[in-house]
Structure 1
Amino acid sequence: MQAVLDGTVLADANDADVVSIEGNWYFPPEAITPQALSESDTPYTCPWKGKAQYFDARIPGNDHPDAAWSYPQPPASAVDRVGRDFTGYVAFGKDVTVA
């Protein structure tokens, strides 16, 4: 499975390595293309997944603010709810094609 934005691959992983949560595919940290994302200052806290870290996508000639997010320290209850540890996994917004 890949996450692609403007023809640039942001993440690439085997289907078995991604996690589906609330309709979004979360990629393991090692699947993220190096230097494709940079941390954003946008704050967000999910009521059950905890504090999120947003990322801007760096595409040659065009940056996309808050194109991805991750949960660096989800509570144990969230991991139990998902059924798999998704710590640090990265999901992508609607402008990114995931297939």
Structure 2
Amino acid sequence: MKAIWKGAVIAESEDTVVLDGNHYFPAESLKREFTSFSNHRSSSEKGQAHYLSLFVNGELNPDAVWFYPEPSEAAAQIKGRYAFWKGVEIVD
């Protein structure tokens, strides 16, 4: 699976976990050169989500990446994994 935004492969892995229709990629597959800090947080039954923004070819996509540093027990399988939205394409 690949996560692609603005033509850049943001993450690529054969080992994704699908939860609630989202592919969660392993941390080591995330290409950090395309990410930047975000203060955004949200909460759900999975725990508190933290976000990263994407910066590709001079364009910013705020809060397009999320992860759960301490997921709930029910979402333990996504610890250390990253998911994408806001225009990021997930392709096989």
Q: Residue 82 of structure 1 corresponds to which residue in structure 2?
A: none
Separation (CA, whole Å) in 1 of partners of 2:2 and 2:75: 25
Normalising by the residue count of structure 1, what TM-score does the alignment of the two structures yield?
Answer: 0.85
User: Does 1:91 pair with 2:83?
Assistant: yes
Equivalent of 1:54 in 51, 54, 57: 51
Letter paired with 1:87: K
Deviations 1:12-47 (A, max 9, x none): 101xx101111111101001013211221112011x
Equivalent of 1:20 in 18, 21, 27: 18
Separation (CA, whole Å) in 2 of partners of 1:72 and 1:21: 16
> 1:77 Cα deviation (Å)?
3.0
- The unaligned stretches of length 5 or more in structure 1 are 80-84
1:78 aligns to what SS in structure 2? helix
> 1:56 Cα deviation (Å)?
0.3
Normalising by the residue count of structure 2, what TM-score does the alignment of the two structures yield?
Answer: 0.91
Residues 39 and 88 of structure 1: is their aligned pair in 2 closer, same or farther, counting only changes over 3 Å? farther
CA contact 1:13–1:27 (8 Å) conserved in 2: yes
Aligned residues: 91
Deviating above 6 A after TM superposition, structure 1's stretches of 4 or more consecutive aligned residues are: none
- The unaligned stretches of length 5 or more in structure 2 are none
CA contact 1:39–1:53 (8 Å) conserved in 2: no
